[in-house]
Structure 1
Amino acid sequence: MLNVTARQELLSRIADTISIVVEEARFDFSENGLNVRVVDPSHVAMVKLDVDAVAFETWEVEEAMVGLEMKKLKELISLGGADDIISMTYDGKGDVLMNLGKIDRSSRPLDNNTLNPPNLPNLDLPCSVTIRGSELAQAFRAARQVGDLVTLSIDQEKFTIHVSGPNDSVTVVYGHDELQGITCESPAKSQYSLTYLVPLGKVFSSIESVTIAFGENFPLAMDFTFSDGSGSVKYFLAPRVEQEGY
């Protein structure tokens, strides 16, 4: 049995985060909260999202796994304002019922057997930087104007975002004192696709602190929290083979 209500703002952040990677996802509801783990079809990007029950307005849950289409969920969410209340109920047998004000929407849940949450990697990444979400999102947008393959580089004193295009380049440098934190014993750099990072930037642009961890041609791990710490996102992105040059 599932009967939960939440502010539109919370559900919007959840749906936006998951839909960056997949179109369909299994939402695992437990007594303590919501857990979603997804990986994109090419196995390049992965998201782990956890939201404590206290972040919701009401939470009446017996353990349930519900497969949802992100497009349908976002369609209903888009009809409300940030403070509107959206409810979701499911008895484990029929349709998932959602309500927003006068609007009732029922959707058949997806077959959970076709939705297999991935195992998360256990990474020991040598370098990390913590930065304001709005600054990082802006840097990714600027880089995307020139190309798709971004180089992140780091040493003890600075964190650099760089992309080169056929005729242009963009470089954004944050010194040690401009960051909330930086850890790096030896210089490192790696390349990643902005196709995944720019949409995620829209999600964390309002977040006070975002932590990025990576190493020399290592996967990237990104962490941030929301809803006063009751929600958390861990995002993994595989590196691209680095080209000669910068």
Structure 2
Amino acid sequence: MREIVDILSVLTSEAKLVWGEKGLSISVVDGSHVALLSATIGDECFETYEVEPVEIGLDLQKMRDLLTLAGPSDLVEMDYDDAVGAINVRVGEVLMILRGIDTSTMDNPNQPNLEFKSKATIGSEKLSRALRAAKFVGGEVDLSMDKNQLAVSVTVEAGEGVNVKFESGELSELVCASPTHSTYSLQYLGELTKKLAGGFTNEVSLEFEEKYPLRLTWMSNDGGARWTYFLAPRIVND
């Protein structure tokens, strides 16, 4: 649960958790609506899963604070009291009662239905390192791809720059019908990939085209959870 809350907190301070018979689904956007993160987490990812379908609005910061008390072997138990709208969260011997947030006021973002002609799958640590290097120089990153490589680069007016190239042999997958590139903000991207590289997932797939959103996809919990992240492109008008 700590990893789920940490990833969601990159974009937002609150989230609607949709608990279904077969698992948990979540979809959140940042305040400026340039980034969207969705997850489908199967019931097999939980030690015990006994749920009647319900939507719960959760304050992520309060949940993060509580989860700092959890040791490596501690289980996190959540129980929702629908009668009073309270979430009972137990970590070890600690029981905390959180008030649920009214979900009727929360966004219901939908994933854009896009088809991409290019895709690269890369180790999460490699991607995170390249984006951290890019952030040393600027606030935006240029992503480019052709049939031979994926490149991460930044160039600023002062003449400084970063250029990181991953040849096809360094990637688990590289599909690119024709060379393509696009530019994206590092505001959320750098922090997100840093968390992914911290043991959350081994690989991340990138899909992008010029003036299209960036789509990242990855799996966690031994394939039981699927995550999708969209980021709007940076477009400069001529």
User: By the TM > 0.5 criterion, same fold?
Assistant: yes
Which residues of 2 match residues 156-235 of structure 1 at below 5 A? 156-165=147-156, 166-205=158-197, 206=199, 207-235=201-229
Matched, 1:240 2:230: no
CA contact (8 A) 2:220 2:226 kept: yes
CA contact (8 A) 1:190 1:242 kept: no
Choose the corresponding residue for 1:65, options 46, 55, 77.
55
Structure 2 partner of 1:42: 32
SS at match of 2:132: helix
TM-superposed CA distance for 1:119, in Å, is: 1.6
Give the whole-Å Cα distance in 1 for the aligned partners of 2:206 and 2:106: 28
TM-score normalised to the size of structure 1? Answer: 0.92
CA contact (8 A) 1:191 1:242 kept: no
CA contact (8 A) 2:37 2:227 kept: yes
TM-superposed CA distance for 1:31, in Å, is: 0.8
Structure 2 partner of 1:122: 113
Q: Deviations over 1:165-195 (max 9, x none)?
A: 3342111000111111111111110000111
Structure 1 partner of 2:136: 145
TM-superposed CA distance for 1:213, in Å, is: 0.3
CA contact (8 A) 1:128 1:211 kept: yes
TM-superposed CA distance for 1:230, in Å, is: 0.4
Structure 1: 5+ residue stretches without partners = 1-10
Q: Which amino acid aligns with 1:220?
A: L
TM-superposed CA distance for 1:56, in Å, is: 0.4
Give the whole-Å Cα distance in 1 for the aligned partners of 2:14 and 2:36: 13
4+ aligned runs moved over 6 Å, structure 1:
none
RMSD: 1.4
How many residues in Structure 1 have an aligned counterpart in Structure 2? 234
Matched, 1:82 2:98: no
TM-score normalised to the size of structure 2? Answer: 0.95
TM-superposed CA distance for 1:243, in Å, is: 8.5
Q: Which amino acid aligns with 2:220?
A: F
TM-superposed CA distance for 1:21, in Å, is: 1.3
Percent sequence identity is 35
Structure 1 partner of 2:22: 32
Structure 2: 5+ residue stretches without partners = none
Give the whole-Å Cα distance in 1 for the aligned partners of 2:195 and 2:55: 25
